[in-house]
């Protein structure tokens, strides 16, 4: 019998327990390993056998690409914080043909069907008619007229022409004439696989529609248009749902922002946005780091303050699957929204001004174009109106009609681009030039008999507008009565050199500095006549002195000239900018500081005489009926300028300022084809009534179809 306490026995039992424990651990590890191995085999089987084809397809098609993302555009507000232009979220359709593969044409065909079902229009710039018989929609499909930075017409290549010149145009044959539209369309449809052109197949209506889309994509593949092809903009949820239901590969729905307009007024001032144009504009924005699919300002304030409104674009990594769907995205740099722009514009005053112009023209037998400019004493623009105008909210839909109206030219901003002879509104400048240069004294009086008889030849003796004469006139009387004979004599004695010098000091014939596109205008003189292909004579100075000859200024220049005059000679640049605010409105990032460009040294007693003449005019019977009811006193001057001596046509002009004792605003009105400047007094009174009765408050504009009194 073994002794349990035998040391040898104890050691044997201990060794036996250790062996059993070791076998248990080994078996457990083997079991775990077998389970893991089985799981690994199962995963490999699932990945390589069951889903191998799917993973292989995704691994060969899925790609990661960096993408620049546009920032949210800043808002535009008037001087009192009323939002004029903001943003609204919209959905655009973009196409990626790499994800369509061999099914490209079928996918596009189905997409066009959905568009027609939902009444959605798509982008198509192919210059061939939409319906048979096929014709070119431009005079020549290989050239077009554009404008350079100065607004001068420039002939450039069309996209078709560029393709031909680069020999990337598949549809032209060397040495053969350019085909007609039908031949070109057939060749294009054959290249795109829509018809068998060699077999003589003729393109159908649907073939033309598909060719337009494929042409847009082709331009981008050849590098002639670097913008992303936005097939259509602003689609609704019904359209999006149908696209999703049809699982159209390569048809992407992208979120975007578009401009929302809080006013139907100030279209010429606010301007509009659009895609980056090819050429110099593309190079400019590329240097600024813009993505080529960015939306940029094309006119007005949108263009003037583009870099502030645009903000900073962001960059993200986009991973897409074989169907072009976004699998994942990661921001490298988030976009920074643009600054908000606060303008000097008073939209209530702007609305009243535009309504008044429209009502005035509606009463005419034949409505004529008009313009108005209202500025404060430091050049800040309060209102800038041009008639006819347009509505920015429907601008794109109506663009063809607006651009094609060559008679009325609704797209032209006449307030800054219309150049008009100032007529008698120029006489205050002639007076100040004569007084300050010492040509005449404050007590000088000139006899007006209805004809200026300085020159012995009767043919060289111009008439006064009042045929029987004004009698003896001093400078104040001459301004009130607008006596031509007085200013014929004063102008002749002062000389054209001095008149031109003072005109330029007051900013006439010079750029005003406004942030919008503007014409420079011109001051009459020998150099101007020579540049225009005419001649200058001794007697020309007389006509220049009363605002005729080759004098030509914009309404904004004339309004700012009056402001410079009545504020004592401080000449400011015109401007629309009041300040920039951060995107969240938490701080003002920049404020416009109005500083005089220069000061015209006007003797106070001379200015007093001129202002008195303008004040006296406002008190005459024809003017008092409009200005007497106003809460402020006014100084004004009428003008009637000949536009053609042969046709005996004239433009009507009117300038004024108020209040008389402490001027705050100055304005200019122009009516093309108007009979007399005095006919515009009613409109001027309406504008002043709007400004001073509200005292710059946020009150509503008076209703339509009633002139403000």
pLDDT tens per residue, range 503-543: 999 999 999 999 999 999 999 999 999 999 999 998 999 99
Which domains does the chain show, CATH number per domain?
A: 347-694 (3.40.710.10)
Mean pLDDT check: name the lowest of 28-32, 239-243, 548-552, 573-577: 28-32
Confidence of residue 223 (pLDDT cuts 50, 70, 90): low
pLDDT tens per residue, range 155-166: 444 555 555 554
Q: Which two tokens stand for residue 602?
A: 């006007």
CB 448 within 8 A of CB 471: yes
Q: What is the dihedral of CA 612, 614, 618, 623, to 10 degrees?
A: 150
- Helices 604-618 and 555-566 cross at an angle (nearest 10°) of 120
CB 65 within 8 A of CB 321: no
The alpha carbon of 604 is separated from its chain's Cα centroid by a whole number of angstroms, namely 42
Confidence of residue 696 (pLDDT cuts 50, 70, 90): very low
3-state SS, residue 272: coil
What lies within 8 Å, CB to CB, of 537 at 6+ separation is: none
Q: What is the pLDDT of residue 645?
A: 56
365-384 average pLDDT score: 95
Q: What is the pLDDT of residue 3?
A: 62
What lies within 8 Å, CB to CB, of 461 at 6+ separation is: 451, 452, 453, 454, 455
Question: How far from 564 is each of 379, 475, 593, CA to CA, in Å?
Answer: 9, 19, 17
Look at the block and give the residue holding tokens 């200024």: 553
242-255 average pLDDT score: 88
Mean pLDDT check: name the lowest of 93-97, 226-230, 451-455, 497-501: 226-230
Angle at 618 between CA 617 and CA 623, to 5 degrees: 105
Q: Which two tokens stand for residue 111?
A: 């997409």
Asked if residue 188 has pLDDT above 90, the reply is no
Nearest to 266 by CA among 510, 516, 585, 507: 516
Cis peptide before 133 (omega within 30 of 0): yes
Look at the block and give the residue holding tokens 């009117």: 654
Confidence of residue 46 (pLDDT cuts 50, 70, 90): confident
**CA 674 – CA 555 distance, rounded (Å):** 15
pTM comes to 0.79
CB 599 within 8 A of CB 569: yes
Sign of CA pseudo-dihedral 687, 688, 694, 696: positive
The DSSP annotation for 291-314 comes to -TT-EEE-SHHHHHTHHHHH-B-E
Q: What is the pLDDT of residue 54?
A: 62
pLDDT tens per residue, range 558-617: 999 999 999 999 999 999 999 999 999 999 999 999 999 999 999 999 999 999 999 999
464-490 average pLDDT score: 95
Look at the block and give the residue holding tokens 């023209």: 361
**CA 345 – CA 332 distance, rounded (Å):** 39
The DSSP annotation for 663-681 comes to --EEEEEEETT-S-GGGGH
What lies within 8 Å, CB to CB, of 27 at 6+ separation is: none
């Amino acid at each position: 019998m073994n002794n349990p306490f035998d040391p040898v026995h104890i050691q044997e039992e201990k060794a036996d327990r250790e062996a059993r424990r070791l076998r248990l651990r080994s078996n457990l590890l083997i079991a775990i390993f077998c389970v893991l191995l089985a799981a690994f085999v199962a995963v490999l089987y699932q990945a390589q056998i069951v889903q191998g084809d799917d993973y292989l397809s995704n691994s060969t098609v899925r790609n990661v690409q960096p993408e620049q993302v546009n920032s949210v555009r800043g808002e535009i507000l008037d001087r009192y914080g009323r939002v004029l232009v903001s943003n609204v979220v919209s959905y655009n359709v973009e196409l990626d043909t790499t994800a369509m593969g061999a099914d490209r044409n079928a996918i596009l065909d189905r997409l066009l069907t959905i568009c027609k079902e939902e009444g959605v229009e798509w982008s198509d710039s192919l210059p061939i008619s939409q319906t048979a018989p096929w014709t070119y929609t431009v005079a020549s499909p290989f050239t077009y007229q554009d404008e350079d930075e100065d607004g001068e017409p420039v002939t450039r290549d069309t996209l078709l022409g560029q393709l031909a010149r680069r020999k990337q145009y598949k549809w032209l044959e060397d040495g053969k004439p350019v085909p007609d539209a039908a031949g070109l369309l057939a060749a294009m449809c054959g290249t795109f696989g829509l018809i068998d052109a060699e077999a003589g197949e003729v393109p159908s209506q649907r073939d033309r529609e598909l060719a337009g889309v494929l042409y847009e994509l082709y331009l981008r593949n050849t590098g002639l248009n670097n913008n992303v092809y936005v097939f259509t903009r602003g689609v609704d949820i019904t359209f999006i749902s149908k696209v999703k239901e049809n699982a159209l590969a390569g048809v992407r729905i992208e979120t975007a922002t578009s401009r929302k307009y809080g006013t139907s007024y100030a279209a010429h001032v606010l301007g509009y946005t659009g895609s980056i144009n090819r050429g110099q504009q593309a190079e400019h924005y590329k240097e600024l780091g813009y993505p080529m699919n960015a939306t940029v300002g094309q006119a007005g304030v949108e263009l003037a303050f583009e870099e502030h409104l645009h903000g900073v674009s962001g960059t993200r990594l986009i991973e897409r699957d074989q169907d072009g769907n976004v699998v994942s995205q990661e921001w490298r740099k988030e976009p920074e929204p643009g600054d908000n722009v606060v303008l000097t514009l008073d939209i209530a005053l702007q609305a009243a001004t535009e309504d008044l112009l429209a009502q005035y023209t509606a009463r005419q037998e034949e409505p004529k174009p008009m313009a108005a400019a209202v500025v404060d004493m430091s050049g800040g623009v309060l209102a800038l109106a041009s008639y006819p105008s347009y509505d920015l909210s429907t601008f794109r839909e109506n663009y063809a009609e607006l651009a094609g109206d060559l008679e009325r030219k609704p797209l032209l901003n006449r307030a800054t681009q219309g150049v008009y002879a100032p007529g008698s509104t120029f006489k205050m400048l002639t007076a100040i030039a004569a007084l300050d240069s010492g040509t005449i004294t404050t007590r000088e009086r000139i006899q007006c008999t209805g004809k200026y008889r300085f020159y012995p030849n009767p043919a060289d003796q111009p008439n006064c507008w009042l045929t029987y004469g004004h009698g003896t006139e001093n400078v104040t009387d001459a301004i009130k009565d607008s006596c031509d004979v007085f200013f014929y004599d004063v102008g002749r004695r002062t000389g054209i050199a001095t008149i031109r010098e003072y005109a330029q000091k007051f900013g006439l014939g010079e750029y005003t500095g406004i942030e919008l596109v503007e014409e420079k205008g011109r001051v009459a003189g020998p150099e101007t006549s020579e540049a225009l292909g005419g001649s200058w004579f001794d007697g020309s100075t007389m006509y220049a002195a009363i605002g005729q000859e080759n004098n030509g200024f914009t309404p904004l220049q004339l309004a700012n000239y009056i402001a410079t005059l009545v504020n004592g000679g401080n000449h400011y640049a015109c401007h629309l900018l009041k300040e920039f605010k951060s995107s969240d409105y938490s701080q003002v990032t920049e404020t416009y500081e109005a500083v005089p460009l220069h000061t015209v040294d006007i003797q106070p007693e001379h200015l007093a005489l001129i202002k008195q003449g303008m004040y006296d005019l406002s008190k005459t019977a024809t003017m008092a009926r409009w200005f007497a009811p106003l809460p402020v006193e006014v100084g004004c001057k009428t003008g009637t300028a000949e536009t053609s001596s042969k046709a005996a046509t004239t433009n009507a002009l009117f300038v004024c300022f108020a209040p008389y004792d402490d001027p705050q605003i100055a304005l200019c009105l122009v009516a093309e084809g108007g009979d007399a400047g005095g006919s515009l007094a009613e409109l001027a009174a309406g504008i002043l009534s709007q400004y001073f009765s509200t005292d710059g408050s946020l009150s509503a504009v008076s209703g339509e179809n009633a002139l403000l009194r």
